[in-house]
Amino acid sequence: MNTKKHYTLEDLERDYGPFTFGETLEAYRLADEISLKDFAKKLGMSPQSLCDLEKGRRLPSVDRVAKIAKKLQEPIEGWLSLALSDMVRAVKPNLKVEITRKIS
């Protein structure tokens, strides 16, 4: 019998606080062991702009989120959800943002 508890996103957020766009972007870069300078070049931005995003000093526009997701070859929904959550949390911390694709 497996009694091991699966650690969920909710568990992580409860224990460590909400995920942010910047922290997730930095974790993505560090997991791939890419320097800030090289990652900024890959994303088509200055190292200072990337640093500002990673440290949460600036929040990306929806357009910038889309460009970053495309360059990382990742679905936009997760990155956009993080960025919009950061924006909403700054005003109303008790709201949650969820992004889903429109079914056509």
Q: Is the pLDDT of residue 51 over 80?
A: yes
Domains in the chain (CATH in brackets) are: 17-91 (1.10.260.40)
Taking the whole predicted model, whether its pTM rises above 0.95 is answered as: no
Burial (0-12, 13-18, 19+ Cβ within 10 Å), 40: buried
Asked if residue 65 lies in contact with residue 79, where contact means CB atoms within 8 angstroms, the answer is yes
**How far is Cα 97 from Cα 34, in angstroms, rounded to an integer?**
29
What is the percentage of the chain residues whose pLDDT exceeds 90?
65
Cβ neighbours around 11 below 10 Å, total: 11
